[in-house]
Amino acid sequence: VMTQSPLSLPVTLGQPASISCRSSQSLVHSDGNTYLSWFQQRPGQPPRRLIYRVSRRDSGVPDRFSGSGSGTDFTLKISRVEAEDVGVYYCMQGTRWPGAFGPGTRVDIK
């Protein structure tokens, strides 16, 4: 089971934001990797992966997005929120099947 907090995050433009994701079990795979990803879903669009394997940014993702964590506790940080960052953010574990998404965190501008 994946949980996220907060579920709603009003932020001020230019300020940092942080989302927490927690798994009920360790996400360390037998191959030594941790398959925890973060996704952004803007209104009316399909999700887009931002971060994979905890901290690796996908191509084209701004460097204001960063991921960290280990084991069961993970964090997505936005260093300075921009207007285009509004949307819902999901964590997902791919370490074991079935995969599982967190409930999502809605980010909007104050």
Residues contributing to the site for another protein (CB under 8 A): 35, 37, 39, 41, 46-49, 52-53, 58, 88, 90, 92, 94, 97-104
Q: How far is the CB of 4 from another protein (least distance, A)?
A: 10
- Tally of residues, the chain: 110
Helix (H) or strand (E) holding 9: strand 8-11
Closest distance to another protein from the beta carbon of 8 (Å): 13
When the beta carbons of 28 and 100 are compared against another protein, the nearer one is: 100
User: Shortest Cβ distance from residue 14 to another protein (Å)?
Assistant: 28
Q: Which is nearer to another protein, 28 or 79 (CB)?
A: 28
CA distance 85 to 62: 10
Least separation in angstroms between residue 45's CB and another protein is: 9
When the beta carbons of 85 and 105 are compared against another protein, the nearer one is: 105
- Count of C-beta atoms within a 10 Å radius of residue 76: 26
Closer residue to another protein, CB minimum distance, 14 or 30: 30
Scanning the structure block, which residue is given the tokens 């300020």?
15
Which has the closest alpha carbon to 16: 109, 89, 81? 81
Query: Using CA atoms, how far apart are residues 44 and 3, in angstroms rounded to an integer?
Result: 24
Question: Hey, what amino acid is at 100?
Answer: A
